Amino acid sequence: MNELFTIQMSTILTVLLVMLGLCLLTVAWVAIRRPVIFKLGVRNIPRRPPQTVLIVVGLMLSTLIMAAALGVGDTFDYSLSKSVYDVLGPVDEMVVSAGGGDVDPSSARNSTIPAGTLALVDESVRDDPNVDGVLPYLLEQVPAQNTAKGQGEPGVWLAGADPERLRQVGGLETVDGEAIDLGALATDEVVVAEKTADALDAAVGDTLTLSYNNAPFDLRVGAIAGDSILAGQLDPTQLGMVIPLDRLRERTGQTDTLSFVAISNAGDDRGGVGATDAVIDKLEPALEGQGLGVAAVKQDNLDEATLVATAFTGFFLVLGLFSIAAGILLIVLIFTMLAAERRPEMGMARAVGARRSQLFQQFVAEGTGYALPAGILGALLGVGATYGIAAVMRGLFGDFFPIEARVTPRSMVVAFCLGVVITFLAVTLSSWRISRLNVVAAVRDIPDVTNPTRKKRTLLGGALAVVAGAGLILLGRDTEQLAWFTIGVSLVPFGLALVLRFFGVPSRPVFTTVGLALLVFWLMPDDLFTRIFGEYNGNFEMFFVSGIFMVLAATIVIVNNLDSLLGALTAPTRSLIAGAVALAAGYALRLVEAGSVTADVLRLAGQIVLGLGVVLLVLGLLGLVVNLFPRVAVPAVRTAISYPGAARGRTGMTIAMFSLIVFSLVMIATMSTNFSALFLGDEANAGWDVRATASDANPIDDFEGALAAQGVDTGRFAAVGEVTTPDASSRVRLAGGEFRPYPVNGMDPSFVEHAEIVFGQRAEGYADDAAIMEALRTRPDVAIIDASALEGNGDPDGLVLEGLRLDDETFAPIVVEVEDRDGAPVPLTIIGVIDQAVTSLFGFYAPRATIDPIFPQVAATEFWVAGDDPDQADQIAKDIEAALLPQGVAAVSIQDQLEEGQALFGGFLSLIQGFMGLGLVVGVAAVGVIAFRSVVERRQQIGVLRALGYQRSLVSLSFLIETGFIVLLGIASGTFLGVALARILLTSDDFGGIEEFLVPWPLISGILLATVVVSLLMAWVPSQQAARIAPAEALRYE
C-alpha cells in the first residue's frame, strides 16, 4: 500500500502523526498546567468498568474498520507482488511480437517471433551492466496425460529453453531449492512445474503422454520445478513444463521461430526491476519496425498489483465509511450521555467557580483516556479482521493466486492515528457543546432554557447553510459533479428550516416537510432527475453521499413524528385510519398521469406517502395485538414508547446508526441478487450448452467425426457451431480512429444458424433480432459486438462506440475497421450490440467467411454444442473432454461455468457484506450504552413503577420493547431506503433497465432478525438490572 485515493501513504502518515501529536500535546498541556482538572477527567474512566468497556469497544470500531481496509490493501499488495516475483523469477522484460502500440506479453502465447530476434537482443545488450541474462523461449500448448494415474489436462504449455543461458541466471530449482540442470536431462525426460505435477498427479519417474499435431509422444518426469515462467508456467493460472529448446524445435519442426525472449536484469529477483527503464530504452530502437516489442513484465505486473491493492483498500474503505460514520455518531452519543450524567456535578463545579474551558479540558482529558486504548485495540483487532478476510479470500481466489495475510506497521499506525484523531475531534466537539451549560438548570438537573444567543445562532446557522448550499450547487453546476450539486441542494432546505425556526414556526411541521422533501429529491429516478436538473457525473462516492442524506432525511422525519408513530401502538384505531388515508392519498397521487415533471414528482411523493401509510397500518395492527394483552403488553408498551420521544437526540442517533448500516447492507445485497439473476438468466448462454476449445497445436477438422470415432454418441447433439479466435492480438478501430485491442471472432454458418442471441441495440433497418441474424447469414460485411463496447459501459481504453449508450435502442449502422496481419484496415459494419444478459459471448463477432481471410492463422477453435436435453450439458462436456483429451480439447458446460463465476462473485459479495456488517456492532454497542445508562438514569422512576404494581418482568419487558422499537425503526428506515435506491439504480436506463426487480427478502430478513436478536440480547443485561432494582432503595436516593 503506497497510495490511497491518489495521496501518498507517507504523506497521509506524516499528516496524521502531526495531528495526533497536536492532540496529545493538548492533553499533555492540560496534564501539566492543570493537573487537578486532568485528574478529575481521568478519574472518571475506572469509575464504571462495564460502561468504560462499552465505550472503548464503541470507540475502537472505526479504527478496526480502517485498519482492516488498509490491511486488505497490504495483503493484496503483498500477495500479488509475491506471486509476480515467484512466477517471473529473474525475468524482468520480455521481447514479444507486437503490432505497434502497447506491447502485450500474453501475445507470446499465440504469436511467434523470428529466431533471429535472439541475436538482435544479444547484440543490443552486450556489455550492458544492467543485463545479466537473455533467454530464448519457444512455447506450444499441448494436451498431457498421466495414463498410469488416470489424470489428464487438455492444455499444458510445453516450453523450450536454452539450458546454458538458463544456468547463467540461476537456472531451474526444485521446490526445495535444489538446482535442476536442464542440460543434463535425458532425451525422453521433461521438467514439470509443481502446479502441473499436482494437476496430473505426477511424480518424478512417471510417464506423461503428450501430443503435438495429433501425434502422441511420451516423456518421463525428470524433475519437478517450482512454479515459474522459466518452467513454462506463464502465470499462476496456467500449467507448464520445460525441455531444452533444441529438442522442442526438433519435435515441432519450428526451427526458425521463438515465442519470446526473456531478459533478466542485473541484481536479484526483486532488485533487478529498478533497471527496467534503462534496459527498455536501450532495446526499443533495435526492435523498431520489426513487429517486435519489449514488455516491462515485472514492473508492469508489480504496478498492477499495487493498483489492485489500492483499489481494494479504497473499495473496502468506502463501504466501511457507513460503519465509520455510525462509529462517529456513537462517539458523539457516548459523550453526550456522559455529559448528561455529569451535568449536575458540572453545574456545581461551575457554580463554585470552575471556568467553562476547564470543564472542556476535563472532558477532553477523559476522552483521550478512552481513545488511546481504543485505538490500539482497534488496530490490533483490525489485524485480526485482515487475517479473517484473507482466509475467506484464500478460499475464494485460491485458484488464481495464493493470498497471504500481511499488515504493514505503517497501515496500523495510520489506522491508529486516524482512529484517535477522529475520536479526539468528535470528543472535542461534543465537549465544547457540553461545556456551554446553563449553571442553574444543570444544578437542578432540568432542561436548559432557550436563550436569545442560542436563537441567534439558529439564524446564523440557517443562513450559513443556505449560503453553503447555494455555493455547492454552483460548484456542482460548474464541475458537473453530482455529489457537490446534490449536497448543495440538500443543505438549502435545512438552512431554510433553521431560519423558519428562528421566526417561531414550530419544528415538527418544518422538519417533517424538509425531511420528506429531501426523500423525494434523493429517491428521484434518474431520468426524472435529469429532466429537472440536467446531466451530472456521479461515481461510486454517490453511494455514500446518497446514503448519508437519505438516512438523515428519514431519521428527521421519524424523530419529529416519534410520538405519532409510537402512539399508534396505544391508539391503534387512529393510526389505522391515518394509514388508510395515507394509502388512499398515495394511490390517488399515483393515478396522476405520468409525463410532466410535476406529475412525476407527485407520483414519487405518492410512493413515499404509500410507504408511510403501510408503516402506520403495520403499527396500528401491532397496536391491536398489544391491546389483546391488557395486563402485560399495554403497561409495558406505555412506558416503553414514552422514553424515546423524551430523549430525541439519542433516539435519533441510534435510529440513524442502524439505518445507515442496514441501508448499505440491504443495498449491496439487493444489487448483487439482481446482478446474479441477470448473469444467470435464460439468455446468458446464447442458446448453447457446451463449449469445447481446441488449440492450433492439435487442430481438429471434423469435430463430430472425431467424437464419433471415440465412441461418443453425437446423436444427443442438437447443433454444433464453430467460433474461431485468430492467431494474433486483434485490434479494431472506429472508421478513421485509432486501433484498440478487441477480441475478434469468426462464426461459422452453423453457429449463426443455431445461436439464440438477444440484442440490446439494433441498427436502423433491423426490425428484430432475427433480422440481424439473417443479415449475418447472408452478408459478409456485417458484424455484431458485445455490450462492453458501449459508451460508459466498459474499458474506456478499448474500443468504444462513441455516442451509443446502454439506454439507446437503435443506432445508425457503425462502420469499424479490423486490422489485418499486415496492419491494413478491413471495414465491417456493426448492425447489433449483443444484450448484456448474453454473458457467454464477449468480443467482436463476424462470419468466418469474412474473418478467415483477415487472420489466416487460427489460434483456437471453439465448438459450441447445443444438446437435446440441457440437463445433459455437464455429461456431454465430460464425454467430449474424455474423448478428445489427447488432442487437447477442453470442454465445459456453459451454465456451470457461469454459475462458478457467479459463485465467486457471490462469495466476494458475502465477504463484503460481512465486512460491512461489522458496522452493526456499532449499533449494538450504542444500544448497550444507552440501555445501561437508562437504568442508572431511571432508578427512581423504576422504583415508582414497582410501587405502583409493575412486576419485575414488566419492568424488563418494557426496557426490551423500548430497545426493540428503536432498533426496528432504524432497520425499517434503512431497509426501505436500501431497497428503494437499489430499485431506482437497477431500473434506470444506466443499468440497461432490468425487467424484473428482485429483493432478496430471505437474506434481508435473516440479517435483520439477527440484528434485532443481538440488540435485544445486548439490552437484556441492563433490563435485568432494572428489574432487580429494589423499590425502597431506589425511591430514597439521588
Partner 1 sequence: MPSLRRSNGTNGTHRANGSVAGGDAIIRAEGVVKTYDTGTTKVRALRGVDFAVGRGEMVAVMGPSGCGKTTLLNCLSGLDDVDSGTIYLEGQDLARMGDRKRTDYRAKRMGFVFQVYNLLPVLSAIENVELPLLVSGIRPKEARVKATAALETVGLGEWAKHRPAELSGGQRQRVTIARSLVNNPALVWGDEPTGALDSSTATEIMDLLRELNRSQGLTLILVTHDPGVGAQCDRIVRMRDGEVVGEERGTPAAAQTLGGTLSTQVVGVH
**C-alpha closest to that of 1024 among 967, 958, 925:** 958
Residue 351 interacts with which of partner 1, ligand ATP, none, CB < 5 to 8 Å by class:
none
Strands (E) across 310-438 are located at none
Give the contact letters, 637-676, x = binds to partner 1 (CB under 8 A), - = no: -xx--xx-xx------------------------------
Distance CA 471, CA 490 (A): 12
149 binds ligand ATP (CB under 6 A): no
Looking at 163, 226, 232, 635, which residue binds partner 1 (CB under 8 A)?
A: 635
Min dist. Cβ of residue 953 to partner 1 (A): 9
Looking at 950, 959, 965, 991, which residue binds partner 1 (CB under 8 A)?
A: 950
Min dist. Cβ of residue 1036 to ligand ATP (A): 6
Give the contact letters, 996-1035, x = binds to ligand ATP (CB under 6 A), - = no: -------------------------------------x--
Min dist. Cβ of residue 964 to partner 1 (A): 17
Query: Which range of residues in 221-229, 454-462, 465-473, 632-640 is near partner 1 by CB under 8 A?
Result: 632-640
How far separated are the first and last CA of the chain, in Å rounded? Answer: 55
Min dist. Cβ of residue 944 to ligand ATP (A): 17
Amino acid, res. 613: G
436 binds ligand ATP (CB under 6 A): no
Q: Which is nearer to ligand ATP, 625 or 1030 (CB)?
A: 1030
Beta carbons within 8 Å of 85's beta carbon, 6+ residues apart: 269, 270, 298
Number of Cβ atoms within 10 Å of the Cβ of 699: 14
Grid coordinates in use for 494? 435545512
Q: Which is nearer to ligand ATP, 281 or 1033 (CB)?
A: 1033
Looking at 762, 848, 946, 983, which residue binds partner 1 (CB under 8 A)?
A: 946
How many residues bind to partner 1 according to rule CB under 8 A? 33
43 binds ligand ATP (CB under 6 A): no
Beta carbons within 8 Å of 454's beta carbon, 6+ residues apart: none
How many residues bind to ligand ATP according to rule CB under 6 A? 2
Min dist. Cβ of residue 652 to partner 1 (A): 16
Distance CA 305, CA 18 (A): 30
Beta carbons within 8 Å of 961's beta carbon, 6+ residues apart: 636, 637, 640, 641
Min dist. Cβ of residue 1033 to ligand ATP (A): 6
Pairing between β-strand 782-786 and β-strand 825-834 as defined by DSSP bridges: parallel
Looking at 475, 944, 998, 1014, which residue binds partner 1 (CB under 8 A)?
A: 944
For Cα atoms 157, 162, 167, give the angle at the middle one, nearest 5 degrees: 110
Distance CA 138, CA 483 (A): 53
Question: Which residue's Cβ has the minimum distance to ligand ATP?
Answer: 1036
948 binds partner 1 (CB under 8 A): yes
Residue 1030 interacts with which of ligand ATP, partner 1, none, CB < 5 to 8 Å by class:
partner 1
Q: Which is nearer to partner 1, 369 or 943 (CB)?
A: 943
Min dist. Cβ of residue 965 to ligand ATP (A): 34
**C-alpha closest to that of 270 among 441, 144, 91:** 91
Min dist. Cβ of residue 951 to partner 1 (A): 5
Give me the residue label for grid cell 498410469. 148
Q: Measured on CA atoms in the order 371, 372, 373, 375, is the torsion positive or negative?
A: positive
1036 binds ligand ATP (CB under 6 A): yes
Number of Cβ atoms within 10 Å of the Cβ of 292: 22
**Residue 210, φ and ψ in degrees, nearest 5:** -110, 175
Q: Which is nearer to partner 1, 355 or 1036 (CB)?
A: 1036
**C-alpha closest to that of 927 among 1010, 1009, 1011:** 1011
Q: Which is nearer to partner 1, 624 or 999 (CB)?
A: 624
Q: Which is nearer to ligand ATP, 618 or 1035 (CB)?
A: 1035
Distance CA 127, CA 125 (A): 6
Q: Which is nearer to ligand ATP, 303 or 1033 (CB)?
A: 1033
* Orientation angle between helical segments 49-88 and 297-351, nearest 10 degrees: 170
Restricted to residues 437-466, the positions that interact with partner 1 (CB under 8 A) are: 446-447
Identify whether the C-beta of residue 345 lies closer than 8 Å to the C-beta of residue 401.
Answer: no
Tell me the longest C-alpha to C-alpha distance in the chain: 103
For every residue of 499-520, DSSP letters joined together read: HHHHTT--HHHHHHHHHHHHHH
Give the contact letters, 561-580, x = binds to partner 1 (CB under 8 A), - = no: ---------x----------
Identify whether the C-beta of residue 798 lies closer than 8 Å to the C-beta of residue 789.
Answer: yes
Q: Which is nearer to ligand ATP, 43 or 1036 (CB)?
A: 1036
Distance CA 894, CA 658 (A): 41
Min dist. Cβ of residue 936 to ligand ATP (A): 17
Q: Which is nearer to partner 1, 402 or 645 (CB)?
A: 645
Q: Where does residue 293 rank: exposed (0-12), middle (13-18), buried (19+ CB within 10 A)?
A: buried
Min dist. Cβ of residue 446 to partner 1 (A): 7
Query: Which range of residues in 552-560, 825-833, 991-999, 1027-1035 is near partner 1 by CB under 8 A?
Result: 1027-1035
Residue 941 interacts with which of partner 1, ligand ATP, none, CB < 5 to 8 Å by class:
partner 1
- Write out the residues near ligand ATP by the rule CB under 6 A: 1033, 1036
- Write out the residues near partner 1 by the rule CB under 8 A: 446-447, 570, 627, 630-631, 634-635, 638-639, 642-643, 645-646, 940-941, 943-952, 954, 1030-1033, 1035-1036
